[in-house]
Amino acid sequence: MSEPVKQDVHTDPQRREFLKTGALVTGAAVAPGALLYGVAHSRPPEQPASADVRWGMLIDTSKCGDGCSDCVTACNEENGLSGKTGPQDVQYIRKLDIKDLRTGRVHSLPMLCQHCEHPPCVDVCPTGASMRRADGIVRVDQHICIGCRYCMMACPYKARSFQHEPVTNQKPDVPRGMGCVESCTLCAHRVDRDQEPACVEACNANGHRAMLFGDLKDPDSDLARALKAQPSIEVRADLGLNTGVRYQGI
Amino acid sequence: MAIESCFDQQRCKPGLFWALLGLGGLVVLGMLYAFFTLEHHGHVLTGMDNQIVWGLPHVFAVFLIVAASGVLNVASIGSVFGKKVYKARAPLSGMLALAMLAGGLAVLVLDLGRPDRLIVAMTYYNFKSIFAWNMIFYNGFFAIVGLYLLTLMDRKLQGYSRAVGLVAFLWRLALTTATGSIFGFLVARAGYNSAMMAPMFIIMSFAYGLAVFLVVQSAMYKWNGLKLDEAILARMKNLLGVFIAASLYFTVVFHLTNLYFAKAWEFERFILLEGGSYTVLFWGGQIVIGGLLPLALLYSPGARQSVGTVMAAALLVIIGGLAQMYVTIVGGQAFPLDLFPGHAESSSFYDGVVHGYSPTVYEFLLGFGGIGIAFVLTVAAVRAFRFLPQDDFKALEAEKA
């Protein structure tokens, strides 16, 4: 019979330290990527938008600053809009002041494309230029828009503008052109890079935090939680469009 | 020489023909000038904006398209319903339908923000869009009515005229249904969003089309020094009277249904009472000039014998029709969208305010250009082909007996 092999029960402290550090380093390297994937669902440019997410927004009018238009300024800057407010000028987002005619209560709120699930602008567009991405963002394909403006007739929110003049100083991320219709893209170019829309970023930066952006389909997102916790409304809910932008405080 | 191809060799007036063609050509040139200017500088030169997105060009375009489908009715009554008086007028009716549709579509296309992308409109179809369906109906209309004209004018093909005429009749009903639905399907706007739009446009097309037909027919008879038979005049004027009355009836029902819905009250108050120029155009243009006045003329004593009275009534119907289109298209947009019912709204984007509209010369040039195209095509067609109605009075007597 052979002698049983005696095992050395003594552990090398250096080896343990090595494993601990290794695990920490690996975790630190992988975690942000994994977290980022979970939060923002980033995707490479060649990958189409995913129907697993639906981008949306919750606007708390009680936090929206009266007279503040940082969201409008940020939008104009981001998309290369002139910021002029003549009847023929392009506006993606505007501050809307409303007053209840019975109670006299006033609200100030940003109004933009509501990114409907059933957008009337997409229904009526003859060429399909007005379209809804799989992730819920409604926008105009500037390559096949013929400038008929029927989508502007159909939009319940007056969210679209026709480009009446030649466009200069365009932003590379936001192609635009004379004779086409355009509107808020929910900053699709930023969202595809895991950033928030410019208006939301500006609202957060000034401390109002009235605009919350996120994935409506993710029950753990801040947006979905906020919508679950507090009552909110859709503008023109009677039309049954299931808007991606909701309002609180009205 | 052009004079050789004139139908009525004895009474040809080549000078007048070329003068009319030149006049129409000038109007079309004006349209092209407007088109190229807007194509270069953009719609910033027009009175249209982000509030009134469809303006005067669309008023003319939709009127021409609706009247084009209506003018074909004269042929349909002849071919489909077998009335000989109308059968004799079928070729003129079909030709006018094609000319007016061409004029109306030209305005629509030349007003596009990107008219250079017409090929896109022809190759990319969103079949959920009633606008896309309209494009199919317009193109089909050209093909079917063109074929119908062939069966009417080529003796060898005349046996097919009834069948093709029936298809053309059904097609034009579908076309006008689709045209009315362009507005009827706009769910968000108080001035539209009504199933009444499609049938109302159809009945209005009957009136506008017949009015245009009567004006052209009277001009052609006058040009050739002929006199329209009294009995035929009486029949056609009575038919116009019925169409006008029916249009008025539909207008009343349309506004009554709106008045029944509390959420449409504000819009009705706007159009019927407080809309300024839109209210004036509705009551003065659409109702009085386009409805009551022509009815009074058509049923006045002596109207049976008076081509002038009937022509005046027909012209009033056309003017009233343009007023109706203005009230429907521009008035419907001038009334602001109500995003928050029960709230006063204001913003930098003109929320909550009635939108003004002042068309510029370019919109007038585009709009009248559409009429110019229809006019030039008609003048050339009646010169080159036998479109003057040829009544067989013996057959008419037999039909009456």
- Please check whether residue A181 touches B, CB under 8 A: yes
A34 and A152 both lie in a single domain? no
Residue with the bigger pLDDT between B58 and A50: it is B58
Is A30 a domain residue? yes
Instruction: Say yes or no for a CB contact (<8 Å) between B42 and A102.
Output: no
The reply to whether residue B337 touches residue A163, judged by beta carbons under 8 angstroms, is: no
Q: In sequence order, what E strands does A129-187 have?
A: 130-132, 138-140, 160-162, 181-183
Same structural domain for residues A20 and A88? no
Q: Which of A74, A9, A10 is nearest to A213 (CA)?
A: A74
**How many Å lie between the alpha carbon of B184 and the closest alpha carbon of chain A?**
11
Lowest mean pLDDT among A169-173, B252-256, B296-300: A169-173
CB contacts, 8 Å: B42 with chain A:
163-166, 178-179
Residue range B239-262: mean pLDDT, rounded: 95
Is A150 found in the same domain as A114? yes
Beta carbons of B43 and A88 less than 8 Å apart = yes
Q: pLDDT at residue A10 above 50? A: yes
Nearest CA in chain A to B130: A124
CB B132 within 8 A of CB B139: no
Give A47→chain B minimum CA distance, Å. Answer: 24
In residues, how long is chain A?
250
Same domain, A141 and A231: yes
pLDDT band of residue A1 (cuts 50, 70, 90) is very low
What's residue B10's pLDDT? 47
Nearest CA among A234, A123, A128 for reference residue B187: A123
Place of tokens 């896109």: B120
Query: What is the rounded average pLDDT of the residues A158-167?
Result: 97
Highest mean pLDDT among A37-41, B221-225, B243-247: B243-247
**Farthest-apart Cα atoms in chain A, separation:** 101
Residue of A nearest to B188 (CA): A156
Asked if the structure places residue A96 within a domain, the reply is yes
Residue B45 DSSP one-character state: G
Residue contact A239–B187, C-beta within 8 A: yes
Number of domains in chain A: 2
Alpha carbon of B382: minimum distance to chain A alpha carbons (Å): 34
Please tell me whether residues A216 and A190 are part of one structural domain: yes
**Secondary structure (3-state) at A170:** coil
From B43, B130, B131, residue closest to A148, measured CB to CB: B131
CATH superfamily of B2-337+352-385: Formate dehydrogenase/DMSO reductase domain (1.20.1630.10)
Q: Per-residue pLDDT tens for B184-209?
A: 999 999 999 999 999 999 999 999 99
Judged by a CB distance cut-off of 8 A, whether residue A149 touches chain B is yes
Residue B10: CB atoms within 10 A of its CB come to: 7
Nearest CA to B289 among B322, B311, B258, B262?
A: B322
User: Is A148 domain-assigned?
Assistant: yes
Per-residue model confidence (pLDDT) at position B3: 37
Q: Which domain holds residue A82?
A: 55-248
CB pairs under 8 A between A and B: 169
Mean pLDDT for the stretch of residues B9-27: 83
- Strand blocks (E) in chain A: 55-60, 94-100, 106-111, 130-132, 138-140, 160-162, 181-183, 211-215, 245-248
**Cβ separation A146–B118 shorter than 8 A:** yes
Distance from CA of B365 to the nearest CA of A (A): 18
CB within 8 Å of chain B, chain A residues 104-133: 111, 120, 122-129
DSSP B168-179: HHHHHHHHHHHH
Which of B129, B131, B337 has the CB atom closest to A158's CB atom?
B337
Task: Give the pLDDT confidence score for residue B87 in this predicted structure.
Answer: 87
Q: What is the ipTM of this complex?
A: 0.91
Contact residues for B344 (Cβ-Cβ < 8 A; gap 6+): A98, A99, A101, B352
Residue A176: CATH number of its domain: 3.30.70.20
A157/B337 touch (CB, cutoff 8 Å), yes or no:
yes
pLDDT above 60: residue A11: no
Closest CB to A98: pick one of B43, B189, B344: B344
Candidate from A115-124, B2-11, B120-129, B385-394 with smallest mean pLDDT: B2-11
A189 plus A212 within the same structural domain: yes
Q: Residues A228, A173: one domain? A: yes
Is A203 found in the same domain as A91? yes
Residue B390 in this model has a pLDDT that exceeds 90: no
Give this prediction's pTM: 0.90
Q: pLDDT > 90: what percent of chain A?
A: 77
Interface touch A179/B54, C-beta < 8 Å: no
Q: Is residue A45 part of a domain?
A: no
Q: Touching check for A84 and chain B: CB below 8 Å?
A: no
pLDDT at A22 over 50: yes
Give A226→chain B minimum CA distance, Å: 23
Q: Are residues A18 and A76 in the same domain?
A: no
A97 part of contact set with chain B, CB < 8 Å: yes
**Same domain for A239 and A128?**
yes
**Mean pLDDT computed over B35-42:** 97
pLDDT of B399 reads 66
Residues of B in contact with A154 (CB under 8 A): 185-188
Instruction: Map tokens 């005696």 to a residue.
Output: A6
The whole-angstrom distance between A72's CA and the closest CA on chain B is 11
Kindly identify which residue of chain A lies nearest to residue B181, measuring between CA atoms: A124
* B253: closest CA of chain A, how far (Å): 24
Residue B5 has pLDDT above 90, yes or no: no
* Count of other CB atoms within 10 angstroms of residue A204: 16
Percent of chain B with pLDDT over 70: 95
Mean pLDDT to the nearest integer, B263-275: 93
Q: What is the mean pLDDT of residues B65-74?
A: 96
What pLDDT, on the 0 to 100 scale, is given for residue B11?
56
Q: Do A179 and B337 touch (CB under 8 A)?
A: no
pLDDT digits (tens, 9 = 90+) for A40-66: 456 777 888 989 999 999 999 999 988
Indicate the pLDDT class of residue B391, thresholds 50, 70 and 90: confident
Whether A155 is covered by a domain: the verdict is: yes
Which residue of A102, A153, A236 is in closest CB contact with B186? A153
pLDDT-derived band at B80, boundaries 50, 70, 90: confident
Coil vs helix vs strand at B89: coil
- Whether residues A197 and A85 share a domain: the answer is yes
Instruction: For B193, name the nearest residue in chain A, comparing CA atoms only.
Output: A154
With a pLDDT cut of 90, the percent of chain B lying above it is 80
Examine residue A4 and state whether it is found in any structural domain, yes or no: no
Identify whether residues A216 and A144 lie together within a single domain: yes
Asked if A52 is an interface residue toward chain B (Cβ–Cβ < 8 A), one would say no
